[in-house]
Amino acid sequence: MTNDTFSKLAFAFPQSTVASWKITKARAEFLATFRPVAYDCCISSCCCFVGPNSDLTHCPYCHEPRFNSKGRARRRFTYAPLIPRLKAFYQNKEFGHSMLYRSKHQHDGINLQDVMDGANYQRLRGTNVIINGQPRPYKYFEDHRDIALGLSTDGFCPFRKRKKTCWPILIYNYNLSPEIRFWIRHILCVGVVPGPYKPKDFDSFLWPLVEELLNLAAGIKAFDLSSDEIFALRAFLILVFGDIPAVSMVMRMKGHNGLVPCRMCKITALRTPNSRSPGHYVPLHRAQHPAVKNNNTVTHVYDPANLPLRTHADFLDTARAVQMAPTTAQSNILAKNSGIKGIPILSYLPSLFFPYSFPYDFMHLIFENVMKNLILLWTGEFKGLDEGTGQYHLMPKVWEAVGTATAASGPTIPSAFGARPPNVCDNKMACTADTWSFWMLYLGPVLLSKRFQRRVYFDHFIELVKLIHICIQFKISTTEISTLREGFQNWVLKYEQ
């Protein structure tokens, strides 16, 4: 609640003793046994005044003064330390037992059920921890109490007008079982970038967290109540995720509108013909594109099975070249041609592999993009494009009937499957990623049957549905992963055809 709302509690509840905010805050800090740390930040949240920015009196981006006329910071970023909370986990016997899931998880080499079955984690387990270039005498996750962490962030609008954004920095505990690790009570928020705008230097807000993670890699003295012993608590960040703009910001990349938009490979984007919009059109077959047609130096066809993938060493070498360029102009050219804007602060954590520790977010990738784009194509509303020589447009009355049937299916669907599906024709704004997921997997295959003029488009949609069903299984075998790789490559090729 706001400060004004809190100050009115005493009047709303006159029978209760409501202390002042100052007293209540002090009491909460005492009971929590740790204190948040406040850092000065730009009034527009461009950057946080820590590390190399600690002595600045003005924002290096918007040039707004750091202090007001009284010499006080105009805005502050509150950081909630991570270490005291991780130490507290093992001071609770019951919660300490629930933290053993990671150490008990057995990888059979065939099936993938959790992040611990991934190649990155398995590679770390056989590697000695390196701090400041010096190998330590212990390996990652050697102790059963070592903690695997994930990080996520995204901008959201707290107010109805949706003109101002703030950015929470969330930590996830992978030592907990999948059934409970994403419960709100187990998500650790270490801070919220206050906004009102997107940060220009997000790394500066991550500075306190990276400091703690480096200390945790070396080991922090802690007490384990279950074994009644003092031990070296270690924690390692192994995964960072979010939507494309958020992760591009964390990785210091240009993002999906750049010339080289992908963080996994070096595929180049093309501008939409006769348009001034930023380049974000990335076809595999591009021989017919006006900018490529008569240019022999440009790649005409990309093989989806053999894309020019980025590697950890290549990524960091490019980041250093961009940041250490002798002039700003040269730095900008290198950044444009590589998609990398500089050295991300998270690269100082040796437990992360660039770019493979930064996977694409499945919800945004499939349900918020691919599924929505397919529907826009089917209904003739995709960026003003017609169907060319194809016949994949659904007649308006057909799509209206699909929407009506979707809404009518609600009474027969158990609530365990999710919320009641809305009319996807009339009320697209009410369709969440969860809605599109259910529609794609269960309703779409039935409602779209025999609706297209040519069956090839329906079959193409069903191929995608089969692949998504494999993706959301609780256990995926290596054979199924091969099926997914080949299946998605073929699906995209058919999509372009």
Outline where 163-235 has alpha helix (H).
202-218
Same domain, 440 and 484: yes
Looking at the structure, do residues 304 and 370 belong to the same domain, yes or no?
no
Say how many domains are in the chain: 4
> What SS3 state is found at 277?
coil
Q: State which of 223, 247, 271 marks the end of a domain.
A: 247
Cα 380 from chain centre: 31
Whether 158 and 207 map to the same domain: the answer is yes
Is residue 450 domain-shared with residue 484, that is, in the same domain?
Answer: yes
247, 276, 299 - which closes a domain = 247
Same domain, 144 and 171: yes
Q: Would 59 be classed as within a structural domain?
A: no
Do 103 and 166 lie in one domain? The reply is yes
Gap between the Cα atoms of 254 and 26, Å rounded? 43
Does any domain span residue 255? no
Query: Which residues constitute the domain of residue 23?
Result: 1-30
Residue 40 lies in a domain: no
Q: Is residue 61 domain-resident? A: no
- Please report the pLDDT score of residue 273 as a whole number: 76
Q: Is residue 348 part of a domain?
A: no
Would you state the pLDDT for residue 278? 67
Q: What is the pLDDT of residues 275-333, one digit of tens each?
A: 777 667 889 998 888 778 777 777 889 999 999 999 999 999 999 999 999 999 999 99
- In this predicted structure, what is the pLDDT of residue 54? 94
Question: Angle at the Cα of 88 (from 84 to 93), degrees rounded to 5?
Answer: 170
Model confidence over 44-74: pLDDT tens digits? 999 999 999 999 999 999 999 999 999 999 9
Q: Does residue 75 fall inside a structural domain?
A: no
Q: Are 46 and 59 in contact (CB under 8 A)?
A: yes
Q: Residue 279: its pLDDT value, please? A: 62
Domain check: are 228 and 136 in the same one? yes
332 and 384 assigned to the same domain:
no
In a domain, residue 377? The reply is yes
Q: For a pLDDT cut of 70, what percent of the chain falls above it? A: 100
Element (DSSP H or E) covering residue 237: strand 235-241
> In terms of domains, do 224 and 273 share one?
no
Token pair listed for 314: 């290549």
DSSP-derived pairing of the beta strands 235-241 and 75-79: unpaired
Judgement on whether residues 322 and 231 belong to the same structural domain of the protein? no
| Ranges of the chain whose pLDDT falls below 70 | 278-279
Residues 316 and 465 in one domain: no
**DSSP state, 152?**
E
Are residues 97 and 240 located together in one domain of the fold? yes
Q: Which of 190, 212, 247 is the last residue of a domain?
A: 247
